[in-house]
Chains A and B, each alone.
Chain A
Amino acid sequence: MNCHVKSMYFQLFMDPAAAFLSLLLVLAVGSWTSVAAGRPQLCGNSVQQALKLTRLIQKESVDIIKTYKLSQGDMSELLCKVSVNNIPDPNISGLESSERIVSIYTHLQEFFPHFRRVYEQQTDLQLPSSPLLTDLETIDTRSRWLAVHIKDFYQSLFPNLPLPEPAGGATSLPPPQNVFQQKVYGCAVLKTFKEFLSNVSKELRTLKNSVCRRRVQTNMFF
């Protein structure tokens, strides 16, 4: 209804600026319409579930970092302040939604080998009954499930755009490390992943708000 009123307004006060804005509005609506055309149950399922799962993993990542620090012995705080290379970028790249979603999916895929490596390293460092191992396994599993959601979400939004798999062979993992380096590496992976999840959460929230709200408005319109 609001859109309709605005259109009437623009028709009454036609000027060059207004004409430009009208053009942008039409383009935006057209773009949104093309996106929204192929997203059945978008807000209700994949995006929301992905967002909830992201929040859960984010919380668990916070918890696991605490657990990690507790399980690494002395100087655990210091360990986590050291920067490490060869860790996936926590930032989401791309301008379009599709690109950003692909970026999320790609980054998730990049983290999985690192989780595996950290798990293997901590298996050597921790007792088998250590909760850190369970938590690492859990965060790895949930991250994979989140990737499934992102994929479904992407395929729902962009059914005609295939989701590109991570390009360029295997993810670059760090070379063999000593125990200290392993501990530093593990904490860096977890912290980076936590940061990445924060970005994913924001991105999904933005996506959800923009896409789902517009869809509701469209329903009201028709």
Chain B
Amino acid sequence: VTFSFIWMILLTTATSPQTDVFLFIGTNFTATCVIQNTTEVTVDDLYWSLGLTPVPTELYTRINSTALNVTIPITRETPDWLFCSVKKSSPDVILNRSKYKHGILLQKGYLPVKPVNLSCMAVQKGAIISPVMVCEWESKQPQGGQFTTTYNLVVRVVGAEVNLSTFPHFMPMEIWVEATNELGTAESEHLNKDANSFVKTNPPSNVQVISEKTFTKSLLVNWTQPLAKVHLELTYEIRYCSDGCHQWDYVPSTEIDKNIHSFRLQDLTPYTVYITQVRCKNVHPGYGYWSEWSNNATKRTPEDRPTSKPDLWLSIDEDESNNERQVKLLVKEPKYSNGRIIRYDMKIQDLKEKDKSGADQWEKITVSEPEANSSSGHFTLLKQIHVADNTHLQVRVKAVNSVGKSPEATLVIPKKSHVLPPVRDLKVYPDWDKLMVMWNSTDPLEYEYVVEVSDGQQMDWQKEGQSVRKTAVRGYLEEFVRYNVSVYPIYRHGWIGKPARVEAYLRQGVPLDGPSVTSSKPGCFNAYLEWTDIPEHRRRGFITYYTIFYSDGNERHCTVPGNITSYTLKSLSRNTRYDVWITASTINGSVDGFNHSFHTLKYAPGEIEGIVVGVSLGFLFVVILTMLLCICKKDVIKENFWPQIPNPGESTIGNWSPDYPLKAETPNENCLSGISVLDVDVCDGKSVFEEDKASLPLKKDKYLSEEHSSGIGGSSCMSSPRQSVSDSDEGGDVADTTASTVQYSSVVASNGYKGQTPGSQSQQAVFSRSESTQPLLESEENPDTLASDGSRHCQRFPRQTNFTASEGNADFNQLEMEEQNGLRSLEFCPLVEDSEHMMPADGQSETWASAPASSYMPQLGGYRPQ
């Protein structure tokens, strides 16, 4: 909505009609400049300016030849001068400039806004209502502008004058607020009410509560009205609560009459402290204000006899050794004790003997300090008894206060073998700040249930009715504490059933401590770990699993169930240091345990022993095998190491000598001594050239073969007996094949014997005659040369012969086997060929030649007749 103000400015008059106008922001303002009493200027000579700023000509409106309008929007809050001036510069205008310029001050602001939410209150002062009323309202007046808004509170007593010294009880009043500034006035809504509608009295005074002994469930509340009824009719509101409660109970307003000064509270609990408060207001609904609440009035209701049974329960400890149970009888005060319980009357009976001893007296247990007992678990220990396992025991208890006795509570402890079945499907779970317990009934005869909660040190219980299948634990429970929750079915006549038990937490947290590895038994590739279970009070939840972290530089982990405290790590590396720590986890988090280190073994236990034993056994096996071999092959060994020397005495060559009679003994001695020495020399590596050591076994055989070869076609003293026999045996064949050939005689040089003095002149030269049909070589004809060649042949040449003989068969082993299998006869050296190839150097020849005569042994035996 926009408003337009039209203002007129007259030029050439002495004064303008008004020098300032009040405008409200958001409207348009129209001013007219009129030329009067002059023809010096025309409308075309006029212009408008706002302060020093010319107004755009688009905002001008020419009315006629003497009047010019301008319309400007009022936007800013600051005041402005609007001028109508003449731009013509004629002498008259210059000399009378004041006549040709007029201005008005535009003062801007906002219209007053109607006050809202008007309310008034008259409070009590002394015995009367104060005539001073306090009124409140809300103003939504915009800020800014040049105008100040004032508020006037108008109070009118309808049809009469207002006397500010007297409150107008029972008079209609009209109250409103006027907001006023330069732009106008705005009124709030008018309050047309009876004057008492604005009254707020003092709260009722002298509130007293009276307890009457005959009314154990009632209290009488009295008070004094704050104001006389003739001033104001009052209604009251009463609220009360038992001591320590957090919620008030209100007496229904329909039960409270007006102008009363007492009220009887009913249906209260006997022997209970109640706090009562009262307040008042105008009796007419919606009129007046509630007074403040009165001060507390506290009173205890009278005592009455207990109207409910005491809460009897027990705690059973099994004693297997004595076949009895240790039972603690516990009791809580009846729910409706209605007074101070001063004692309990108890009777304990064996059901078998009940009929017999029906006149048993009630045992009176005085409760001297019930509050003290109840503060530590809210129950009282009545008695501790021992119950045999095969006994049904009935316990009956009554609570007694100063007025009377309660109904009787009964429990039956059944025989251990006759315990009735437990409830089914027990579940315990936290729900917000409570622990909920659910179960299902097993037997329709279950009469009630006992929910027992224990943290291991303290125990509490609560009883639930027959139809209850779900309840919340009512006692105070702490977070992060493990509780054993048991539900006992109680059958008719108090028979206690077998409990169902579950562990639960109200809220689980992260364990305070992690598990500590107590011992580790590292192996070579594994390690056995044991850790301590976290103490229950620091566990703060169910351990869902352990995570074992182990690291040798590369971290690995494995997860194990929360119910074990040892584990064997596998697939470890030997001789490696491992750091291990264990994390215990609950559903709400994990905590690390302490670090533990171990070193895996370099050798597994027994591994060294195994190696030693194995090696030892192997060695032993070899030794035994060798011994067995030696035993089994002792003949072979004997033949090899101690060859059987043919008896030269049996040689037929002895008979061959023309100069000496064929006598076996003589040449036999000579030959024997010579052969013994020869055998040692030939097999002694020291006597062999160094370059031949590598082929020592071969040489050995060959040397042995040399012995054989020494007797080609004859019975050389260097030949082995067998070979000699073989030679003899096969000699026929050879002889057959070589029947037409000349048999060679073999001469053995005696200087080849170690230890012998090659130059010994005492030795007598022996010559043996070969039976070979082959003509003798030149060397044979020359004994000196022959002796030298023969010596060389015996020691070295046979090797060459062997290689020659085994031509076409490269396998040395096979060669050896062949040698050992009787082919030795074929290895006899063809001396002719060898001698040609192995002719020694000249020097050697000289050496060899220096002792030919002494090295030859006389061949006494000669050839055995074939």
Contact = CB atoms under 8 A, between A and B. Distances in A.
Interface of A: 49-50, 52-53, 55-56, 58-59, 134, 137-138, 141-142, 144-145, 148-149, 151-152
Contacts of A53: 169-171
Interface string B153-165: 0000111110101
Contacts of A138: 165-166
Contacts of A55: 230
Given A49-B194, A145-B157, A56 B170 contact: yes
Interface string B126-162: 0000000000000000000000000000000111110
Given A49-B194, A53-B171, A59-B228, A148 B166 contact: no
Contacts of A144: 160-161
The 4 closest A-B CB pairs, nearest first, are A148-B159, A53-B170, A141-B163, A56-B230
Nearest to B167: A138
Interface of B: 157-161, 163, 165-166, 168-172, 194, 228, 230-231
Contacts of A59: 228, 230
B230 A49 contact: no
23 contacts: A49-B171, A49-B172, A53-B169, A53-B170, A53-B171, A56-B169, A56-B170, A56-B230, A56-B231, A59-B228, A59-B230, A137-B163, A137-B166, A138-B165, A138-B166, A141-B163, A142-B169, A145-B157, A145-B170, A148-B159, A148-B171, A149-B171, A152-B159
Contacts of B166: 137-138, 141-142
Contacts of A50: 170
Given A49-B171, A58-B230, A145-B168, 11 more contacts: A49-B170, A52-B230, A53-B169, A56-B169, A56-B231, A137-B166, A138-B166, A141-B165, A145-B157, A145-B170, A152-B159
B128 to A, nearest CB: 9
Contacts of A148: 158-160, 171
A149 B171 CA distance: 8
Contacts of B228: 59
B170 A134 contact: no
B546 to A, nearest CB: 83
Contacts of B172: 49
Contact of B165 (A49, A56, A137): A137
Tell me the interface secondary structure of chain B in the complex: loop
Nearest to A51: B170
A145 B230 contact: no
Given A49-B194, A53-B171, A56-B230, A134 B165 contact: yes
Contacts of A141: 163, 165-166
B160 to A, nearest CB: 5
A137 to B, nearest CB: 6
A59 B169 CA distance: 13
A49 B161 CA distance: 17
A150 to B, nearest CB: 11
Nearest to B127: A63
A149 B170 CA distance: 9
A145 B158 CA distance: 9
Contacts of A152: 159
Most chain B CB inside 10 Å of its own CB: which residue of A137, A141, A145, A149:
A145
A58 to B, nearest CB: 8
A52 B165 contact: no
- Looking at B157, B165, B194, B230, the one whose CB has the most chain A CB atoms below 10 A away is B230
Contacts of B170: 49-50, 52-53, 56, 145, 149
B794 to A, nearest CB: 169
Nearest to A142: B166
Nearest to B171: A145
Nearest to A58: B230
Contacts of B194: 49
Contacts of B231: 56
Given A49-B170, A56-B230, A56-B231, A145 B160 contact: yes
A2 B468 CA distance: 59
A137 B160 CA distance: 15
A218 B787 CA distance: 186
A55 B158 CA distance: 20
B418 to A, nearest CB: 77
Contacts of A56: 169-170, 230-231
Q: Which of A134, A137, A138 has the most CB of B within 10 A?
A: A138
A134 B157 CA distance: 20
Contacts of A142: 166, 169
B284 to A, nearest CB: 10
Q: Which of A56, A58, A137, A152 has the most CB of B within 10 A?
A: A56
B231 to A, nearest CB: 6
Give the one of A55, A58, A151 with max B CB within 10 A.
A55
B159 to A, nearest CB: 4
A190 B160 CA distance: 22
A144 B168 CA distance: 11
A63 B227 CA distance: 15
Contacts of A137: 163, 165-166
A136 to B, nearest CB: 11
B625 to A, nearest CB: 138
A138 B168 CA distance: 10
Contacts of B168: 145
A49 B160 CA distance: 15
Nearest to B163: A141
A144 B170 CA distance: 13
A55 B165 CA distance: 20
Interface core residue of B160, B161, B170, B231 (most chain A CB under 10 Å): B170
Contacts of A145: 157, 160, 168, 170-171
With a 10 A CB-CB cut-off, give which of B159, B166, B231 has the most chain A CB atoms.
B166
A56 B168 CA distance: 11
A170 B159 CA distance: 22
Contacts of A58: 230
Contacts of B163: 137, 141
Nearest to B165: A137
Nearest to A135: B166
Contacts of A52: 169-170, 230
A148 B170 CA distance: 11
Nearest to A139: B166
B159 A151 contact: yes
A55 B231 CA distance: 9
A66 to B, nearest CB: 14
B132 to A, nearest CB: 15
B173 to A, nearest CB: 11
Nearest to A59: B230
A218 B530 CA distance: 100
Contacts of B230: 52, 55-56, 58-59
A141 B165 CA distance: 9
Contacts of B171: 49, 53, 145, 148-149
Contacts of A49: 170-172, 194
A208 to B, nearest CB: 14
A144 B159 CA distance: 10
A151 B168 CA distance: 17
A151 B172 CA distance: 14
Nearest to A57: B230
A151 B650 CA distance: 192
A149 B194 CA distance: 12
A152 B157 CA distance: 13
Contacts of A134: 165
A43 to B, nearest CB: 14
A165 to B, nearest CB: 15
A137 B161 CA distance: 13
A166 B319 CA distance: 109
